[in-house]
Amino acid sequence: MDIENLIRTYLIWIENGQGKAKATIDSQKEDLRLLARYLKEESVRLEDVDQIFLQGFLDSLSLRYQATSVSRLTSTLRSFFGYLNVFYGLKDPSTLLQAPKREKKLPVWAASEEIDEILKRFDSSPKGILDKTIIMVLYCCGLRVSELCTLKQNDVRLNQKQIRVYGKGGKERMIPLVDACVLQMETYSQTIRKPTGNAGLYFFVSPKGKQLNRQYVYRLVKACALQENLSPQFSPHSLRHSYATRLIEKDTDLRLVQELLGHSDIATTQIYTHIDSSRLIDTIDLALPSPNLDLDSQALDQKSLNDNESKAL
C-alpha cells in the first residue's frame, strides 16, 4: 500500500470529516512524514508494521525530540492507524503504544496589577491606541492569537458588549465585553482603523491597513513583557492564561470558564484551578510565622505560662 496516498486521504478525512483545525492538520502531516521516512529507512511495508516496530520508532525519536512532541506524535499514530483499521481493514498496532510522560507545567500568567502597568504605558498615538486595544482584547476576552487576528468586523457587537469568536474546528462562542474594553475598542475603531482592500473584513488591521498578523502581536507582547520584567516565557497566550486565572479567582463556575475559553475538554480548563491553588499556598506562606522562628523558645514560654496558671489555681 502506498503510504503517501494513505496519508493524503487521511489528512483530507480529518479536515472534512472531523473538522480539525489547520494547525492540527499541519502537525499531523509532519508527524506522518516522519513515519513514512522511517518505514523507508527500515524497508518495512505499512501492512507489516506491528507494535514493537512502532514503539521502536517512538523510542528513536525520544533521543532527538522533546517529550511533548513525541507524545503528540503518539496521538497522531493512534488516529492514523485507527483510520486505516476502519477504512482499509489493516490491523491497528498503536493501541498499546507507550508515550513518554510529559512534565506538567503551570502556564505562565500575569497578575492584574502587572497588566494594569502594561496598559498604562501606551500613549494616544495611532500605534499606541492599536497596541493597547490588542492587549486589552487578548486579556479581557481570553482570545488565542489566531482568534484575535481573524476576528471579523461584523462579529464585533460593541453596542451589545460582546464579540463572536470562531475557535478551533470552527467552534463558535460568544464573549462578553467589560466596559473598559468596549470603550477602548470604540476608540480604536472610530479613530485609527483604516483598512485597505479585503482587510476591511477584519476588526484588527495593521498600521499599514493590512490584516493583523501573529508576528506583530507576538513582538508587541514580548516587548511589553520585557518592559515589565515579566517571565521570558511570557507570550500572547499568557494573556489568555491570565484571563482564565482571574475568572477562577472570582469563583467562576468551571464549566462557564470552559465555554468562554472554547475548550473541548474540561480537563484542559482544570489546570487553572492548580494555578489558583498555588497562589493560595504562596499567600499562606506569607501569613504563617517564619520557619526561622525559635519554636523551642515559644514552647518554653507556653510551658512557663501553664505552670504559672497551675500555681494560681
Model confidence over 35-81: pLDDT tens digits?
A: 999 999 889 999 999 998 998 888 888 777 887 888 889 999 999 99
pLDDT (tens digit per residue) in 156-203: 999 999 999 998 878 899 999 999 999 999 999 999 999 999 999 999
Alpha-carbon separation of residue 89 from 39, 81, 96, 215 (angstroms): 20, 10, 18, 44
Kindly write down the DSSP assignment for every residue of 163-222, as one continuous string. EEEE-GGG-EEEEE--HHHHHHHHHHHHHT----GGGGGBS-B-TTSSBP-HHHHHHHHH
Q: Is residue 143 one of the residues assigned to a domain?
A: yes
Judge if 133 and 176 occupy the same domain.
Answer: yes
Judge if 154 and 240 occupy the same domain.
Answer: yes
CATH number of domain containing 51 = 1.10.150.130
- Look up the domain containing 63 and give its range: 3-88
Neighbour tally for 244: CB within 10 Å: 25
Judge if 36 and 143 occupy the same domain.
Answer: no
Q: Is residue 132 one of the residues assigned to a domain?
A: yes
pTM: 0.61
Judge if 146 and 277 occupy the same domain.
Answer: yes
Run of H or E including 163: strand 162-166
64 DSSP 8-state letter = T
Nearest CA to 242 out of 104, 106, 105, 131 is that of 106
Judge if 117 and 241 occupy the same domain.
Answer: yes
Supply the residues annotated as catalytic.
144, 168, 237, 240, 263, 272
**Total number of residues shown for the chain:** 313
Q: Is residue 292 one of the residues assigned to a domain?
A: no
193 conformational bin, left if phi > 0, alpha if psi -120 to 50, beta if neither: beta
CATH number of domain containing 175 = 1.10.443.10
Sheet holding 162-166, edge to edge: 156-157, 162-166, 172-176
For the cut 50, the answer to whether the pLDDT of residue 131 exceeds it is: yes
Neighbour tally for 148: CB within 10 Å: 22
142 phi/psi in degrees, rounded to 5: 65, 35
Number of domains observed in the structure of the chain: 2
pLDDT (tens digit per residue) in 220-274: 999 999 999 999 889 999 999 999 999 988 888 889 999 999 988 887 888 877 6
Q: Is residue 99 one of the residues assigned to a domain?
A: no
Judge if 160 and 59 occupy the same domain.
Answer: no
Q: Is residue 305 one of the residues assigned to a domain?
A: no
Q: Is residue 273 one of the residues assigned to a domain?
A: yes
Judge if 138 and 12 occupy the same domain.
Answer: no
Judge if 164 and 253 occupy the same domain.
Answer: yes
Q: What angle do CA 272, 276, 277 make, to 5 degrees?
A: 115
State which of 56, 88, 120 marks the end of a domain: 88
Judge if 165 and 263 occupy the same domain.
Answer: yes
